[in-house]
Structure 1
Amino acid sequence: PPSASLSALPVIRMLLMPWYPPPAAQCRYALGMEDGTIPDSDVTASSAWSDSTEAKHGRLSTGEGDGAWCPAGAVFPSESEYLQVDLHRLHFLALVGTQGRHADGHGQEFTRNYRLRYSRDGVKWLTWTDHWGQDVVSGNQNTYDIVLKDLGPPIVARMVRFYPLADRVMSVCLRVELYGCLWDDGLEAYTAPVGHIMHLSGIPINLNDSTYDGSTEHGMQFGGLGQLCDGVLGGNDFTQTKELRVWPGYDYVGWSREALGQGSVDIEFHFKLPRIFNTMQVHSNNRHTQGVRVFNKVECQFKPGILQPWSSPLTLDVPLEDLKDPSSRTISLPLGARPAQILRCKFYFADRWLLISEITFLSDAVDAHSFPPNVPVPNPEFATNTPRPGLPVAKDDSSNTAILIGCLVGIILLLLAVIAVILWRQYWKKLLSKVSQLGRRLVCVTELVVETLKVFPPVHEEPPPYPGSPPYPSLSPPVSPPLPPSVPHYAEADIVSLQGVSGNNTYAVPALASSSPGADAAPVPELSRQCLIFKEKLGEGQFGEVHLCEIENPQDLPILEFPFNVRKGRPLLVAVKILRPDASKNARNDFLKEVKILSRLKDPNIIRLLGVCVSNDPLCMVTEYMECGDLNQYLSHRVLLDKTGPSNDAPTVSYPALISMASQIASGMKFLSSLNFVHRDLATRNCLRHIKIADFGMSRNLYAGDYYRIQGRAVLPIRWMAWECILMGKFTTASDVWAFGVTLWEMLSVCQEQPYSNLTDEQVIDNAGEFFRDQSRQVYLGRPAVCPQGLYELMLSCWNRDCKLRPSFSDIHSFLTEDAMNMV
């Protein structure tokens, strides 16, 4: 059989290769119930109380009809009523949201508990259960609050049904939303032996595939998906787990050579359609001190179609000399661009146990043109397009009439296409020209990423006071410090492309004279790639990626200028920005420029650049990262501590803690502004939990919904941007002050919603136009329920139309440290 030896495994061991598991923590996009992307025809139900409570009204945060879906029948005791959503394609679902019927205060019905059932084909329905086998999901306690439920484990489904439950005869109503992303892999099921139980010092380590949703018979699992494709990578110690309240060994599926009775673990993968397979990536444990090692050989066979024969085996050897390190790792196995719809791989034991946490494939969808001619591509319409034997077959009509009809149809279609293009262009022109009603031609929003355009300033008029915002008593008018002649006022940025080469935000830095203090960047230490252990990919950009890595025994690396806030013997979490080797020369220059900028940032509240790997490709820069993640994730899972004490078991955060965090952010921004640096993407997603201001929120898929994509050319955080940034591409320290006000609003709202969540992206842009026109029609973010009036007035001063009247970060920091803590 053909063989391919992995002699380059030391390079693979570096673990900085791209890894593409379904990102459960990041794959949380709303799929379209609330915004109408899912059409009414795809939302159905078992019954409805009336036309005004049909299934189509069961959309989260909408109030059409009578405000929700309400079934006609009783949900007790039959439990047979359901609301169904059809996504038409397989999706990875990580979260669901529910809400009752509020109907502007007239509704009284909600669903306290429900079950979820899902299907991949519309025929076989499965009941979702959590890690402990519980299938009842806690719902709502009132008619208006949205309750989000993390699906642990997540599910892969095309159709989802919500079954309301009740403990007595009562009326229930429901509004729902699904959160996830498209399941691009095409994997429908895998077949594998049932995992075994390992006994360590008398403690059972259960290594079964506990989330597998298929069938189990005679020691084999088939027809479903489970932990081998859930995106969770196991750690070095397989007895530890990343999930809460689960048993030891949960992150891995493991098999014993002795219990299995053979020298290999055979796993078969079934895909919906044929694909071209380039690489298989397997994350495996290698704790050899306990009899666990990475497999030493893999044999894979390929079946191009269900009715096609198996190919001859492809053998891939894994050298054992690199497996002395007991840490888990990802092994990348080249599959040689082979076509297949079904794969069968044998993973050969190298020791008594084999433990695997994740298997993914890098593959490409194929069509009839790219697939080998001797392999038929399944065609769902084959049966209707192929004439049956015995039926007459129509002959081609080559008459002039047929030709004339064909020409007319072609001309009509061409005209329709031209009309559609014209209407689309007029729509965008109308949308983006609303800000030019004063007779002054403003720069179009879509030109923001091309160049910074200046508009001549209007004649200054004192802006009328906005409602509910008296002059701020505690802050004197900000006085800008005198700047060198070479630095524009308020550090106006001359860079307008917000996104860096690795997808992160880039700081805007004015051109400094070579003699300016601090202009020279500090030398950056060179780190060995071998000390970086890959954990997960945080995000990516056009020319690079951002990875979460660990550095083991950081105390042994004097170039890191230890100490860090990490115990001795524990690894140090770092973020690694990697430039792809095929990046352009300009991208490489931008990458090195970013290194130079970050090397100058030495402040306790700014992430530090720890080192670089620039001696050879791929270029890398290594920055700090925090074990607790970013501030948005931290706060969104907490509730504000009530004065009377915690009212439930949810984690809490106190008002003084929020103010302390805000003052640290202000301190970091005060340092940036002292260097005349402009951040341009300040938000809670760009602040780490132990407050350090970062810059890679833009690269993370988790926060894709926070950015507005302009005709595919750029992404902008318009909900955090000052009006002059949106309309004129003018980024200054004053616009960072505006973003700080929005960030403070996020924190006091405990990150429960987006800024301007009631406005669409286009309406946010329109609101920026209202700030420009200054006719008292602009909309401000409302005061959070827990926000003192004095602190809200600080926010309003940050959102002052006149950027010169916004407070400086020095004033903000002083206010937060001296006054805000005492407000009620």
Structure 2
Amino acid sequence: MEDGTIPDSDITASSAWSDSTEAKHGRLSTGEGDGAWCPAGAVFPSGSEYLQIDLHKLHFLALVGTQGRHADGHGQEFARSYRLRYSRDGEKWITWKDRWGQDVVSGNENTYDIVLKDLGPPIVARMVRFYPLADRVMSVCLRVELYGCVWDDGLKAYTAPVGHVMQLPGMPVYLNDSTYDGSTDMQFGGLGQLCDGVLGGDDFIQTKELRVWPGYDYLGWSREALGQGSVDIEFHFERPRVFHNMQVHSNNRHTQGVRVFSKVECLFKPGILQPWSSPALTLPVPLEDLKDPSSRPISLPLGGQPAQILRCKFYFADRWLLISEISFLSEPFEDDGTEPDHPKIPPTSPSPPVNHTSSSSTSGPGLPVAKDDSSNTAILIGCLVGIILLLLAVIAVILWRQYWKKILGKVSQALLLNNPAYHLLLSDHRKEPPPYPGSPPYPSLSPPVSPPLPPSVPHYAEADIVSLQGVSGNNTYAVPALASSSPGADAAPLPELPRQCLIFKEKLGEGQFGEVHLCEIENPQDLPTLEFPFNVRKGRPLLVAVKILRPDASKNARNDFLKEVKILSRLKDPNIIRLLGVCVSSDPLCMVTEYMECGDLNQYLSHRVLLDKTGPSHNTPTISYPALISMASQIASGMKFLSSLNFVHRDLATRNCLVGGERGENGEDRGGERHIKIADFGMSRNLYAGDYYRIQGRAVLPIRWMAWECILMGKFTTASDVWAFGVTLWEMLSICQEQPYCNLTDEQVIDNAGEFFRDQGRQVYLSRPAVCPQGLYELMLSCWNRDCKLRPTFAYIHSFLTEDAMNMV
């Protein structure tokens, strides 16, 4: 709308107050005419006036923006709320609703600010209408914008059976298509969760969207309730297409009766009035390869079949079939009438040029004759020189980009003081309001320029640093290469554990080079080579985390994996996760570490409330202030040990601390007192993907826990770990109810790091949690001191938490 890609002729309205406020003026951030679209009369609460945009082809829309009429300060009209309606064919109109069934969208509060609304769920539409609403009869004006892309799939509707409810002990799991926009009684004529781009996780009870019901990410059917051995789904496309591949993301939690379908049978219909193809295309799925209960995409070749309608039967392999997403690799089909059963395939390479020059010659008919004209030769030479120069320029640009990638590889290219939103703007393609009131909008994009370093920034020697990629694909530990005199340098080699003793429980997550699995060892005392943890009662199974390197990993990744094994084997401290053994005699390479029975600290605390003087809350687990300080003291103790070896963690946070029950000699639980250990694989869990800032699909950084010098200069030291500990302590005293700096976007967090760099008193600190005494908050503030040399040591922090913090009220 704003840049004129959508022409005036495609913007219409139910009415307009005047020529200067007609529909074409309803473009975001423009001020032509009288500054906006305004309907002819006042808007009633029922909202019958609308502004319509015709996109002429199906689009996937994920975001909309609205604005009032400003007109250089003269406008006073805006819509406080509105409804959205959309259509894929111009005849059937659908009212957009959010995931909880609400159809009224919050609009503007003044005439000039832009309000963006994420469409969850997103919509597939050709035409969109904005209906401004009012709580009373009043005048409104509106400017709008659409954000999305062309819907290349061409899918217009699918028909599927209504999903069923799975009854688990004490919990119903609703596996219905809750965002379906067609007829919901028969699931006919619409689109929904099978094409919304959200892939369900391994555990179908857990959801990626907040505040929704268990099972939300999946559409599922019971073989018993359906009364047949297959689920029939029919797909209707806008026009005929050639289908090469269908990808189905399916759950495989076979421990709960859920399994990937055993086979698929597909029929193809070239047109609405044409018969179905015969015989059906049968695609088996080998179930022996699906013993891992992880969700996965199943890729099914469709053989280049032309069709406008597909009907596929998905056959049950167990009691339940759960599907999260279905997508197609296809292309438009254009039939020239000569070969009705095959698509018209464009040539793969251009035909050779034909010389049409005619001239009389004694050389014989049909042979080209060179003209005696030196001008053509000059033109040809000029073209060749131009091409060579262009190639040299391209090579120079590539080499220059490689140089910058090498220099800035470990630091976000978005970490620029001049333009902190560089990569976010590239990826979002939308305008955001300035990060702080009164600040100017971001400048135009420019190549990255390293900021000058102030003379007060201390230099840290980083010679012989070993940076490990590891299974998670992140530089988790950055450690000096250990000399023979280093503590633990003479550690005995780790035992080789038999793979058959590891019983798979669930996949915790995955990274760039491998996966992290939760496993169980039933009788750990039967393995004499195992370094048996002191806090596991004899006869109880031992929970372990198993990091598995992919067999196809590169040589560098394998070397990093073995280095990580060597380094972690030397970390022996009560508050550091212990490396128990390895499986390196054959592929895939594995390392086995402890795993605490209560999971990670973030999840443990977020399900609790603080115990106060009024007593425990009804049916809600509680935790006391002394217990929080005890946990924090244990984390500080573990970090004190790491810092004594000059180890830098780089990713200290509650998600990377594991919780177990501290037990007595007979295995009894001692009143909820918990043992905390620092781990390193929180980043690989999809649950915490939102805690990491992704840089153009490459590196991910936990910027909300990082010191300013880490963000701007890539300097990771023990002092930056102290900063991260301060944020971790803030998380704990906030009972992990919100993300650090939750009121700031990622780009504003980066901009705040720039304020620490400039040191002009405009930097923002995390506020004091309600339960936090002032003395403890002052410790946090000292952890976030701009001068890293003035931050406390972990030895001091541990002493403070052990001796002083416990006595604070």
TM-score (ref. length: structure 2): 0.58
SS at match of 1:673: helix
Q: How far did residue 293 of structure 1 move? A: 7.2
Deviation at 1:297, TM superposition (A): 3.0
Aligned to 1:448: none
User: Does the residue aligned with 1:605 lie in a helix, a strand or coil?
Assistant: coil
Residues 97-153 of structure 1, C-alpha deviations (whole Å, 9 max, x = no match): 999999999999999987665677898654355677565689999999999999887
- Are 1:493 and 1:509, in contact at CA under 8 Å, matched by a contact in 2? no
Q: What is the CA deviation profile of residues 401-453 of structure 1, one whole-angstrom value per residue up to 9, with x for unaligned ones?
A: 9999999999999899999989999999999999999xxxxxxxxxxxxxxxx
1:538 and 1:547 in contact (8 A); partners too: yes
Partners of 2:637 and 2:794 within 8 A in 1: yes
Q: Pick closer, same or farther for the CA change 1:678–1:304 going to 2, 3 Å.
A: farther
Q: Tell me the distance in 1 between the aligned counterparts of 2:762 and 2:788.
A: 18
After TM superposition, give the deviation of residue 737 of structure 1 in Å: 1.0
Contact 1:464 1:776 in 2 (8 A): no
Tell me, yes or no, if the aligned pair for 2:306 and 2:343 is still in contact at 8 Å: no
On the 8 A contact 2:466/2:480 being kept in 1, the answer is no
Q: Is the 8 A contact 1:277 1:339 kept in 2?
A: yes
Residues 71-113 of structure 1: CA deviation (Å, up to 9, x unaligned): 9987752245789999999999999999999999999999998
Q: Deviations over 1:718-772 (max 9, x none)?
A: 5544455456654322221122234445556777887678989888778768867
Asked if structure 2 preserves the Cα contact closer than 8 Å seen for 1:491 and 1:676, the reply is no
Give SS of 1:224's match. Answer: coil
Q: Contact between 1:82 and 1:162, CA under 8 Å: does it hold in 2?
A: yes
- Larger mean CA deviation between 120-129 and 575-584 belongs to 120-129
Per the TM alignment, residue 209 of structure 1 is displaced from its structure 2 partner at its CA by 3.6
Change (3 A) 1:765 1:414: farther
- C-alpha distance after superposition, 1:439-480 (max 9, x if no partner): xxxxxxxxxxxxxxxx99999999999999999999999999
Q: Is the Cα contact below 8 Å between 2:636 and 2:798 reproduced in 1? A: yes
Cα 1:347–1:714 shift into 2, 3 Å: closer
* Conserved? CA contact 1:554–1:562, under 8 Å: yes
Q: Percent of aligned pairs with the same residue? A: 90
Distance 1:354 1:615, change over 3 A: same
For residues 459 and 115 of structure 1, the distance between their equivalents in structure 2, rounded to whole angstroms, comes to 24
Q: Which consecutive residues of structure 1, in runs of 5 or more, have no partner in the other structure?
A: 1-32, 438-454
How far did residue 808 of structure 1 move?
Answer: 1.3
C-alpha separation between the residues in 1 aligned to 2:361 and 2:520? 56
Deviates most, 799-808 or 75-84: 75-84
Q: Is 1:775 equivalent to 2:760 in the alignment?
A: yes
Which deviations, in whole Å up to 9, do the C-alpha atoms of 1:544-583 show, x marking residues without a partner?
4556789999999999989999999999987664433332
Return 527-536 or 382-391, whichever deviates more: 382-391
Superposed displacement of residue 193, structure 1: 3.4
Cα distance between partner residues in 2 of 1:213 and 1:413: 55
Q: Which whole-Å deviations, capped at 9, do the CAs of 1:191-221 have from their partners, x for residues lacking one? A: 323456899999999865444223357xx53
Deviations 1:264-299 (A, max 9, x none): 433234678999988766566889999987644322
Q: CA deviation at 1:392?
A: 31
CA positional deviation for 1:508: 1.3
User: How many angstroms does 1:599 deviate by?
Assistant: 3.9
Q: Find out whether 1:335 has 2:302 as its counterpart.
A: yes
Distance 1:627 1:224 in 2: 45
Partner Cα distance (2:365, 2:21) in 1: 49
CA contact (8 A) 1:548 1:573 kept: yes
Secondary structure of residue in 2 paired with 1:357: strand
Query: Which deviates the most, 476-485 or 250-259?
Result: 476-485
Tell me how far 1:530 sits from its aligned partner.
7.9
For structure 2, the residue ranges without an aligned partner over 5 or more in a row are 331-338, 414-424, 659-673
Structure 1 553/458 Cα, relative in aligned 2: closer, same or farther at 3 Å? closer
The superposition leaves residues 670-704 of structure 1 with CA deviations (integer Å, 9 ceiling, x where unpaired) of 23224432101224554469965443455567766
Q: 1:520 to 1:66 in 2, by over 3 A?
A: farther
Secondary structure of the corresponding residue to residue 460 of structure 2: helix
77, 94, 98: which is aligned to 2:62?
A: 94
Assess, with a 3 A threshold, how the Cα gap between structure 1 residues 342 and 742 changes in structure 2: closer, same or farther. Answer: farther
Greater shift, 810-819 or 196-205, is seen at 196-205
Structure 1 range deviating more: 79-88 or 124-133: 79-88
Provide the C-alpha distance between the structure 2 equivalents of 1:140 and 1:672, rounded to a whole number of angstroms.
51
- Could you say which residue in structure 1 is the equivalent of 2:408? 432
**Over residues 168-191 of structure 1, what are the superposed CA-to-partner deviations in whole Å (9 max), with x where a residue is unaligned?**
568999999999999998866433
The separation in 2 between residues aligned to 1:249 and 1:304, in whole angstroms, is 35
Instruction: Please tell me whether residue 756 in structure 1 is matched to residue 741 in structure 2.
Output: yes
Change (3 A) 1:644 1:543: same
CA contact (8 A) 2:487 2:645 kept: no
What's 2:348 paired with?
Answer: 374
Q: In 2 relative to 1, CA 655–469 (structure 1 residues): closer, same or farther, beyond 3 Å? A: farther
Q: CA RMSD in A?
A: 11.6
**Do the aligned partners of residues 499 and 703 (structure 1) sit closer, same or farther apart at CA in structure 2, a change above 3 Å counting?**
farther
Task: Write the mapping of 1:574-585 to structure 2, written as runs, cut at 5 A.
Answer: 577-585=547-555
Q: What's 2:199 paired with?
A: 233
Deviation at 1:587, TM superposition (A): 1.1
> What is the Cα deviation at residue 495 of structure 1?
3.4
Determine if contact 1:274/1:340 at 8 Å carries over to the other structure: yes
Is 2:167–2:173's contact at 8 Å kept on the other side of the alignment? yes
Task: Name the CA shift for 1:746/1:484 in 2 (closer, same or farther; >3 Å).
Answer: closer
> Residue 585 of structure 1: CA displacement?
0.9
State the alpha-carbon separation in 1 of the partners of residues 238 and 8 from structure 2.
27
The answer for the alignment partner of 1:26 in structure 2 is: none
Q: Is the 8 A contact 1:552 1:572 kept in 2?
A: yes
Correspondence 1:567 to 2:537: yes
Q: Whole-Å Cα distance in 1 between the matches of residues 7 and 188 of structure 2? A: 34
1:469 is paired with a residue whose SS is coil
What is the DSSP-based 3-state SS (H/G/I as helix, E as strand, rest coil) of the residue aligned with 1:753? coil
SS in 2 for 1:88: strand
Q: Report the CA distance between 1:55 and its aligned residue.
A: 13
More off after superposition, 607-616 vs 575-584: 607-616
Say if 1:266 and 1:531 are closer, same or farther in 2 by CA, change over 3 A.
Answer: farther
804 and 96 in structure 1: CA distance in 2 versus 1, 3 angstrom threshold: same
Return the offset for 1:586. 1.2
Offset at residue 662 of structure 1 (A): 3.8
Residues in 1 aligned to 2:303 and 2:361: alpha-carbon distance in whole angstroms = 34
Aligned-residue offset at 1:589: 0.7
Taking the aligned partners of 2:360 and 2:624, their CA distance within structure 1 comes to 65
- Asked if the contact 1:126/1:213 (under 8 Å) is kept, the reply is yes
Tell me if structure 2 keeps the 8 A contact 1:668–1:693.
Answer: yes
Question: 2:233·2:312 contact (CA, 8 Å) conserved in 1?
Answer: yes
Aligned-pair distance for 1:507? 0.5
In 2 relative to 1, CA 238–39 (structure 1 residues): closer, same or farther, beyond 3 Å?
same
| 2-structure distance, mates of 1:495, 1:308 | 68
Q: Which has the higher contact order (CA 8 A, sep 6+)?
A: 1
SS at match of 2:775: helix
Question: In structure 2, what is the Cα distance between the partners aligned to 1:139 and 1:650?
Answer: 37
Q: Secondary structure at the match of 1:336?
A: strand
Q: Secondary structure at the match of 1:78?
A: coil
Query: Could you tell me how far 1:543 is from its partner in structure 2?
Result: 3.6
1:509 Cα shift?
1.7
- The alpha carbon displacement at 1:399 in A equals 13
CA gap 1:130/1:780 in 2 versus in 1, 3 angstroms: closer
407 and 67 in structure 1: CA distance in 2 versus 1, 3 angstrom threshold? same
- Secondary structure of 2:447's counterpart equals coil
Per the alignment, residue 295 of structure 1 pairs with 261
The change in CA–CA distance for 1:776 and 1:525 in structure 2 (over 3 A counts) is same
CA contact (8 A) 2:267 2:311 kept: yes
Compared with structure 1, are the counterparts of its residues 125 and 466 closer, same or farther at alpha carbon in structure 2 (3 Å cutoff)? closer
> Against the structure 1 CA distance between its residues 749 and 371, is the aligned structure 2 distance closer, same or farther, given a 3 Å change threshold?
farther
Shift of 1:820: 3.4
In 1, Cα distance between the equivalents of 2:759 and 2:249?
Answer: 57
Secondary structure, counterpart of 1:84 in structure 2: strand
Aligned mate of 2:630, from 656, 660, 678 = 660
Look at both structures and tell me which one has the larger radius of gyration over its CA atoms: 2
Note closer, same or farther for the CA distance 1:483–1:121 as it changes in structure 2 (3 Å cut): closer
When residues 531 and 657 of structure 1 are mapped into structure 2, their CA distance, relative to the original with a 3 A threshold, is same
Distance 2:294 2:428 in 1: 63
